[in-house]
Amino acid sequence: MILANYIAKPKLKLSGHMLTMMLATIFLLFIANPVFAKSGQDLSGLATTLVKQVQSVAKLLTVIAYVAGIGFSLAGIVQFKAHKDNPQQVPLSKPIVYLSVGACLLFLPTVMRTAGETVFGGGQETGFSFSGDIGGGS
């Protein structure tokens, strides 16, 4: 009977930090797999593949931010109606918070793009696109 209770109710508890670390490890494994999948590449080939993978992840996060922003904005509008119908149960702060989070998520990709251009410089050549002559003499 005791063994049946242990099997029916496992005692494994994952903390938030441990779960985050597990998800990050799985995520990194999915990124590292395509990078190192091609054997025979040199270091620059691996770096180029890694940059392409990171750009794909950035595009995915942009789409997620837009979709979540629209969802929070619609939820805020619905909460305004719920507050109008029953102000005792739905405080006014709830739809305002939803709309604020929705607006932040909708503008997050634009803010990140602007911050990236500010920090890393827009229009400047990076190590991947530099094709000029390094030598100073002729």
pLDDT tens profile 64-100: 999 999 999 999 999 999 999 999 999 999 999 999 9
> Domain limits at 71?
64-119
3-state DSSP: the chain helix, strand, coil percent, rounded to 5? 70, 0, 30
Residue 36 maps to a domain: no
Q: What is the pTM of this model?
A: 0.57
Number of independent structural domains in the chain: 1
Residue 123: which region, alpha, beta or left (left: phi > 0; alpha: psi -120 to 50)?
left
pLDDT digits (tens, 9 = 90+) for 92-128: 999 999 999 999 999 998 988 888 788 877 665 555 5
Q: Does residue 108 belong to any structural domain of this protein? A: yes
The two most distant CA atoms of the chain are separated, in Å, by 87
Question: Is 132 domain-assigned?
Answer: no
Does a structural domain hold residue 75?
Answer: yes
